[in-house]
Every structure is written in structure tokens, then in C-alpha cells.
Structure 1
Amino acid sequence: MPLPAGFQPRAAVAYATVVALEVAAAVDAGPSLRAEIEAAAVLAEELVVEWGPDAARESEAKRLALTLDDTVAVVAGAELTAPVAYRWKTQLNENSKLHAFASELPELDHNEVVGWRAARDYGRFAAVFLDDVDTHPRTRARIKLTTELIGADAEEVEVVRSRGSSRTDRVISLVLLGDLLSLYLAVLRGADPVEIDVLHALKARLAEL
């Protein structure tokens, strides 16, 4: 199953994900999710209208960008949303040219939560928690308690909830929201989301070793 050429890896996540899922189904390594994927594509188109460039300033993606502008985002996920939190982090790094970090519950409640006490000593840190309807009730309780505990130390605290019915819907909704957020932050900063010169320079230097 060939992938379209000319995309940077971060821009080809949808293509790569669909191909991986189709291959898994073809070799009986997993169930066919084709119907879910097609439904998620429809949802994504609807969300692009709701969150995209022509959406109102108050739309979720633009509101988040304005809220997180001039902060260092620490994005936390749990269970289904944990890998999406890492995707948000890397998109903010590459597209927005910003420092950002990813964490996972419940682990962050065993260590990282203590570090928030010093957050304001070092800069403007914002906490973003990615929530999902199927998140375990105890984990959701952790999200609520953690936001309360770090609220005075974080510049901003946001809880972002997935959209859609199926797990595929909900993952895609959060991935799309994070991608749009990273592009809007790039616009606010006057950054080129495509440019990754430092990565090319690093690869060139490594090739010389």
C-alpha cells in the first residue's frame, strides 16, 4: 500500500495510520476498522468547518491558541489519549517552534505534580489534560484533583475532551485539534510551520560522523 509522496512525516499521520490499520486487518493481526475510519473522516470534515481557518475566533482551536500563546504547554493524556498528548507535544515543537512537554496519568501524579510548585519561578507553564469519555473514572478523578492542586502554579489549566462516538473518532478529533492548535500558534508567533532547518542541520552533521 503506497503512501502519497512529498509529505513530511508529521503531515502524513492520517495516511500512515490508515495503511497500518488496513495491513493489520489484512494479516488478521487486528479487526477491520474501515467503517470506523470512514465515519471518522466524515467527523474530521465537520470539525474542520468548526475549528478551521474560517471558524470564529471563539472556536476551540483558536481559543486554545490564544490561551496557550506565550506559555510552555505540558500536555497530559491517559489511556487512549496518552499517545495523542505526545503528538500534541511534537506538533507544538515542530509547527509552532515552541517548547512543549508530554506527560501521562497516573504517572505524573507520582512525581511531576511536585515540580509544578516551582513552575512560576521558571516561566509561564500551561497544563493541558486530554480527556475521553471512556477514561477510567479513577483517572478522571485524578485529572480533576490534579487541576485543582496545580491551578495556582500553572499559568493556564485546560481540560480538552475528545469528540465522536468510536475510539477512532475520538482519537482523530484530538489529533486534529492539536494539529490546528499548533498551526494557529505558529501564526501568532510569525513562525513557518513547514520549516525544520535545525533538524536538517542535525541530520547533516550526523551523516558526517
Structure 2
Amino acid sequence: MMFKKSLLNFKKQLNEAVNFGRNVSFSNVSKVLVCGMGGSALPGDFVKSLFYPLNFEISVCRDYEIPGFVGEDYIVFCISYSGNTKETIRMYESLVKITDKIVVITSGGKIGELARKYNSELILVPAGLQPRIAIGYLTFPVINVMVNSGIVKYNLSTEVNKANLVLNYDFEKQGKKIAGMLKDTVPLIYVSGADNIIGLKWKISFNENTKIPAFYNLFPEWNHNEINSFENNPCKFTAVMINDKYDNEILKKRFIITKDLLKDRGLEVLSIDLQGRNKLSRLLFGISLGDWVSYELALIYRQDAESVPVVEELKKRLEE
């Protein structure tokens, strides 16, 4: 029930998070690096989708080692919801040796202590969620700092107010319906490059919440390789095609033709239309719907959507 409560409180989280990071800014910066793992790395992907096509440089580092290109024109965000992510702590300890333009976003933990020690900008967010559900708390501070630092022009409060309407959608009802259609299949999620964060988030939600394999790919790239794999298809897949009415006409045509080609080869194809008039609305709609679908499918499979037992076992073994 705790996980369901987190889903029900998503709109509340977003409206609370809109003020995080408003007092943080840097001068003489034009590029962004986001360092994190799992759900804590998603803010970088969210920002890429929100401001697509990009007119600034942003990279996401999911590793132990930092890239060699970081300079004084970068803002670096080190994000660890728990504050104890080993990879992110190691990246932070390397970064403080080369730049002081670092923002740590966390609910506490060791990286919070290190941020205080090295006088990095520290944005504390509420604890008690799984990182993959805390996307508002972790992402909105990144946007606010970027705006304050002159990298982008964006009125987050105004855009969130517009998004509130679409977030009143009955995600639970629709999530239950879609989950029933995905039962006993492997979901393959397909989105346009502009909506990359939605495809990635659906995949992660199925992996962690439902405990099943799931995969995603992007239009138009997957039309040049993966689509050919269904000529010899030994597995039971369902293609989930997430449509954005604001995609360009060429992409829309690709979606239609691809759907027919997959059906001709015996695949089940599920089409989902994103709702919302502004980009933030459509991204949040897609993410929220995916969370509810994965949760309802977890109930069907009698899985605890909150826990990640294999991840925890891996961490334990690494400590031995």
C-alpha cells in the first residue's frame, strides 16, 4: 500500500518540488553533467526530453568514473536519492578535485555529509520514496538551477500549473486495463527520440516494480535494425507504441506503418496517446501512466512493487 500511496501523491510531489533549487545559481556556465544511478539518474534524461531538440550540452554519467571533458563551463549535478549510492559518491569525490560548480541532490546519507564537508550546493529532498518514484523531487531542482544560471529560459511554476489538469486523469483505471493486456508477455516500448524519458521510465518500472524483463527503443532508429528481428520471433512480446501528437509528420507515418508491419508478423500492438498541451504535461502523463501499469501488473503477478530484492542482494554481496 505504501507504493500505491506514492503513486497517488505524485501530483502533490510535483507541486511541492517546484520550489526546490530556486536559490541556487552559477555564473559563466553553459553545459550540464548529471551523475547518478538508477532512478537518481533520470533527471538528466527528463531534461533532455523536456528541452528537445537541445540548444545546450547535457550529458548523463552512470558509472564509477567521471568523463574527462568536465570544465569550468559545466554545472555538475550529483544525485543520489538515498545518499549512499557507491558509484555517485565516487564520482562526487573525483569531481570536487576539479570543480566547485557542483549541486548535490539527496535526501541525506553519506553524499549529503560530503557536500557539507566540501561546501557544495546541497538540495535536500524528502525521504521515504523509491528513487524511481521521486522524479519530481530530483528533477525540478535541476531545472530551477539551470534557469537561474541562464542555461535555459523556462517558467517551471507556470508549466506545472498547466500539467496539473492532465494529472487528474484516472491513471489507476487505465493502468489496470493496460496491465491486463500485457499479462504473460514481454513489453517492448517504442517512443520517439523526443520522448526518450518515457520509454526508459516504462522499462525501469517494469523491471523494478513488476520484476519482469522489458525493453525500449526509439523511433526512427529502431526501424533500421530491431524491426527486422520479428521475422524470426520465438518469444511472446507486446509492442507498446507511445504516440505524441506533436511528433513531426514523418515520425507519425513511421508509427502507423510500423504498427501494421508488426501486426502482420503476429505481434500484439498496443497504442497509447500522450495527453497534454505542453511538453511537461505529456512527459508527466506518460511517466505516471507507466508507473500505474507496472504497479497493476505487479499485483497480477503477486509481486511487491516497492521492494528490489535482487538489487539489495547484489549490494550485500559487493560489501562482502
Q: TM (normalized to structure 2)?
A: 0.59
Could you say which residue in structure 1 is the equivalent of 2:242?
Answer: 130
More strand by share: 2
Q: Report the equivalent of 2:108.
A: none
Q: How high is the sequence identity, in percent, across the aligned residues?
A: 28
Given the alignment of the two structures, is residue 18 of structure 1 paired with residue 132 of structure 2, yes or no?
Answer: no
1:207 is displaced (CA, Å) by 3.4
2:311 matched to 1:199?
Answer: yes
Q: Which amino acid aligns with 1:169?
A: S
* Aligned residue in 2 for 1:109: 223
**Which amino acid in 1 is paired with 2:303?**
A
- The answer as to 2:288 corresponding to 1:176 is yes
Matched residue of 1:91: which SS?
helix
TM-score normalised by structure 1 residue count: 0.89
SS of corresponding position for 2:271: strand
Q: What is residue 151 of structure 2 aligned with on the other side?
A: 29
Shift of 1:61: 1.9
Q: Determine helix, strand or coil for the equivalent of 2:124.
A: coil
Instruction: Give the letter for the 2:171 counterpart.
Output: W
* 2:171–2:288 CA contact under 8 A, matched in 1: no
> RMSD of the alignment, in Å?
1.4
Cα deviation digits, residues 144-176 of structure 1 (max 9, x gap): 111111113354201111101100001101011
Greater per-residue helix proportion = 1
Give the equivalent residue in structure 2 for 1:149.
261
Q: Which amino acid aligns with 1:21?
A: I
- After superposition, what is the alpha-carbon deviation per residue over 1:51-83, rounded to whole angstroms, capped at 9, x for unaligned? 22xx4xxxx322211101110000011032222
Structure 1: gaps (5+ residues)? none
2:179 to 31, 41, 65: 65
Q: Distance in 2 between matches of 1:143 and 1:154?
A: 17
Match of 1:8 in 2: 130
Q: Residue 132 of structure 1: CA displacement?
A: 0.6
Tell me the amino acid that sits aligned with residue 89 of structure 1: K
Alignment of 1:51 with 2:171, yes or no, is: yes
Mapped contact 2:203–2:216 kept (Cα < 8 A): yes
**Deviation of residue 5 (structure 1)?**
1.3
1:15, CA displacement in angstroms? 1.4
How far is the alpha carbon of 1:30 from its aligned partner?
Answer: 1.3
Structure-2 separation of matches of 1:61 and 1:195: 20
SS class of match (1:151): helix
Which structure has the larger Rg over C-alpha atoms? 2
- Report if the CA contact (8 A) 2:275-2:282 is conserved: yes
Of 259, 262, 273 in structure 2, the residue corresponding to residue 161 of structure 1 is 273
Task: Note if contact 1:67-1:156 (Cα within 8 Å) is conserved in structure 2.
Answer: no
Instruction: Report whether the alignment pairs 1:190 with 2:302.
Output: yes
Question: 1 CA distance for matches of 2:164 and 2:145?
Answer: 19
Equivalent-residue separation in structure 2 for 1:203 and 1:178 (angstroms): 27
The yes-or-no answer on 1:38 pairing with 2:150 is no
Structure-2 separation of matches of 1:182 and 1:154: 24
Cα displacement (A) at 1:9: 0.9
Give the aligned residue type for 1:23.
V
Which of 59, 76, 79 aligns to 2:193? It is 79
Bigger relative CO (Cα 8 Å, ≥ 6 apart)? 1
Once the two structures are superposed, residues 17-54 of structure 1 have per-residue CA deviations (whole angstroms, 9 ceiling, x without a partner) of 2221112111112123221023213421x11xx222xx
Given residue 51 of structure 1, which amino acid in structure 2 is its aligned partner? F
What CA distance in whole angstroms lies between the structure 2 residues aligned with 1:99 and 1:206?
23
1:178 and 1:154 map into 2 onto residues whose CA distance is 24
Moved more, 62-71 or 146-155: 146-155
Cα distance change on mapping 1:99 and 1:105 into 2, 3 Å: same
Q: Which moved more, 1:124-133 or 1:197-206?
A: 197-206
Letter in 1 for 2:236: R
Per-residue deviation, 1:206: 2.7
What are the ranges of 5 or more consecutive residues in structure 2 without an aligned counterpart? 1-122
